[in-house]
Chains A and B, each alone.
Chain A
Amino acid sequence: MTHTEIRQAEEAQSLFTEAIGNAGEINELLRRYGVKFGIYKNGVFKEQFFPFDPIPRVIPAEDFHLIEKGLVQRVNALNKFLFDMYHEKQIVRDGIIPEDFIYLSKGYLAQCEGITPPGEIYSHISGIDLVQGKDGAWYILEDNLRIPSGASYPLIARELTRIACPGAFAQHHITDNRNYAELLRDTMEHVNCGGIRAILTPGRYNAAYFEHSYLAELTGAVLVQNDELFVEDNKLYQRTYNGGKTQIGVLYRRISDEYLDPLTFYPGSVIGIPNLMEAYRSGNLGLINAPGNGVADDKGIYYFVPKMIRYYLGEEPILQNAPTYLPFYDEDRQYVLDRLDTLVLKDVSEAGGYGVVFGSDLTKEQLSELRDTILAEPRRFIAQEVIDFLDLPILDNGRTVLRKADLRAFVLTGKETKVWASGLTRFSRNPDSFVVNSSQGGGFKDTWVLSR
């Protein structure tokens, strides 16, 4: 650690003594409330408690103000892009985005062409991953517009940290983040086409089952599985135990697009609902998020988001992307090949922290192998400069150490687009790792957004 880093760690230690002192209790409470995520190890399902670090990430009010404006802008542009993609495709006609990046993307679903979702909203819940550089600037790392997960963890953690360290909350001006349920309920109600609110889960053995059931509890939505649902007269119904049926007007579905409707997408899906897409197309059902959003959060499309903001909104992007190159473009390809050993390469078809390679970790042979793969399939990759992350202090066996962390901000679009004054701060436990995904062994911390 450098001198400044040591100071940073020491400061955290003294500032958050209350939280650190009660770390054990908070983790015990999280355990008691079943804050878990499921993972499969060698084909066996296991539930793991999501490790919580007591030292919060603190975001000053002026930083958050900027993030908020930037994210609202970004998500509004992405929603306009999605509408354009499944209708007129003006941005492609105008040559801003090459056609290949749309139609070769796995996330583009031709079956969604021409469908206009209620309120023209595609991404109701957007999870935008950001990092802060050592220079203090925030960079967008990735957009998640399909079914971004993670909001429930900081939500329940706050409930418990306020119990464990009331002093800290009395002392600082920390924006209350427990309005997420209300935001989510409003977002769902805004596109409700008549009926009850429901959350569709693939079941208990899904990695995010805790989140599905917790959000259902907080929003008063009914948690459903496909076997109790059916589509009749192009309306979605829940079959009830007295032989009746109840119409569902909005479905927050936590299963992927391709499994959603076996009569439209993957025919072998056993977790989907036949003719769900017909109910949706007919305007009888709000689907959160819209199917087909993958075309806008593809790692390749990421490069074009600043261009979208200029194109659709006529504004300059408030938040910057990490410096990114597309080997698809000749001039970028040469740069990427020349500096392969210093860049991060991301395979656009992978998610969840997989398919990310740091050039500096590779041997000569691996580098030349990667070079060949890029030359063979230039569209498959994006390359980014390694950002000098601002590391965050975490508690490691009673000692404060610095680790890589990111921030997943949640942006909800209903009547208007709002940024939740919180977010999921994930960190890697491994000092050499940049990958913070929970599926890769990371933990999380509370995120304090200061109100002044």
Chain B
Amino acid sequence: MKQITFSYTTKLTFDDDVHDHSFALRIIPPDSPVQKLLQYDLHITPLTQYCQTVDAFGNHVISGYINEPHRFLDFTIKGRAEVDLSQSRTDFLPCYRYPSELTKPDASIQAFFADHRTACDSSDPAACAAFWSELLSDTLRYEKGVTCSGTTAAEVMAAGAGVCQDFSHLLISFLRLHGIPARYMAGLAYCNGETHAWVEYWNADHWEGIDPSNNCPVSENYLVLSQGRDFADCSINRGVMLGNYTQQMQLVRSVLS
């Protein structure tokens, strides 16, 4: 068991006024047998009323609406949580066994899968996960700027490079081809100053975590912010706004200690 303090900030800046801005944030760590949120503070500016619900995948959703013109949206969460890997998550949805929009295998993923699948034992999810994670770290280059948030597993396969999100999507794609349920985890980890992404796979009766971009199992240094079938279910921040802005800058900073 480990106690961690965390903070996470996003600053959205627009080059002109925006209005009618609806947003949905997934930044409050959801409680589970593995992690308990002990205390937190949430700040959103411009000051606005917001509501909180829990979505289909168990994530906290903060939703709000800003009608008045504004040029920025900042939100910060700071808090303390307890992470205990001797416990495990058991919340299950059958959709985690099936392809999703961003992880759908194309012909080349299927061919790659067919070439290598015999090297691991489909009946042992842990061995499978470790095998594909290893194989990915050998085949895929970790490189920023090659992919974006909407990049699919198939596109990553073609590009041969990507970031934590892309490693996770490909690993999920392979595991689901084995028939092993797998899901996308978004959150904070010690290793970097932004948000991180990793994978959980279903092992008989519970979830286990693996971090494919670092090719290692997850530790008590990983704090989950949201989970889902792929990145699209886990966006930290989704928003729709009106205005004549042409660009939107996003600054993200996260600290885990």
The answer to A–B direct touch (Cβ < 8 A) is yes
Interface residue A375 (Cβ < 8 Å from any Cβ of B)? no
When the two chains form the complex, which single residue of A102, A110, A275 contacts B24, counting CB atoms closer than 8 Å?
A275
Contact of A99 among B23, B24, B94 (CB under 8 A): B94
At the interface with chain A, which of B49-57, B81-89, B185-193? B49-57
Size of the A side of the interface (Cβ < 8 Å), in residues, is: 27
B24 touches A278 (CB 8 A): yes
Residue contact A110 to B93, C-beta cutoff 8 Å = yes
Minimum distance in angstroms from B138 CB to a CB of chain A = 31
CA distance A231 to B238 in the complex (A): 15
Given A113-B56, A282-B51: A230 touches B95 (CB 8 Å cut-off): no
Place the interface of chain B in its size category. Answer: 20 to 34
B37-72 interface bits toward A, Cβ cutoff 8 Å, 1 = contact, 0 = none:
000000000000101010111000101010100000
Chain B minimum-CB-distance residue to A115: B56
Q: State whether B22 touches A103 (Cβ < 8 A).
A: no
Q: Which of A197-240 contact B (CB under 8 A)?
A: 230-234
Say which residue of B56, B63, B229 sits within 8 Å of A234 (CB atoms).
Answer: B63
Q: Does B98 contact A (CB under 8 A)?
A: yes
Query: Distance (Å) between the CB of B114 and the closest chain A CB?
Result: 15
Instruction: Indicate if the CB atoms of A275 and B56 lie closer than 8 Å.
Output: no
B20→A111 contact, CB < 8 A: no
CA distance in complex: A274, B51 (Å): 14
Total A-B contacts with CB atoms under 8 angstroms apart: 72
Nearest-CB residue, chain B, relative to A269: B240
* A264 cross-chain contacts in B, Cβ below 8 A: 24
Known contacts: A115-B56, A234-B63. The answer to whether A103 contacts B95 by CB under 8 A is yes
Most buried by A among B22, B98, B100: B22
Q: Is B33 an interface position by the 8 A CB rule?
A: no
Q: Give A332 Cβ to nearest chain B Cβ, in Å.
A: 22
CA distance A89 to B94 in the complex (A): 9
A112 within 8 A of B: yes
Report how far A102 CA is from B93 CA in the complex, Å.
12
CB pair A274 B22 closer than 8 Å: yes
Does A138 make an interface contact (CB < 8 A)?
no
Interface residues of A in 232-285 (CB under 8 A from B): 232-234, 262-264, 267, 274-275, 278, 281-282
The chain A residues found within 8 Å of chain B, CB to CB, are 89, 92, 99, 102-104, 108, 110-115, 230-234, 262-264, 267, 274-275, 278, 281-282
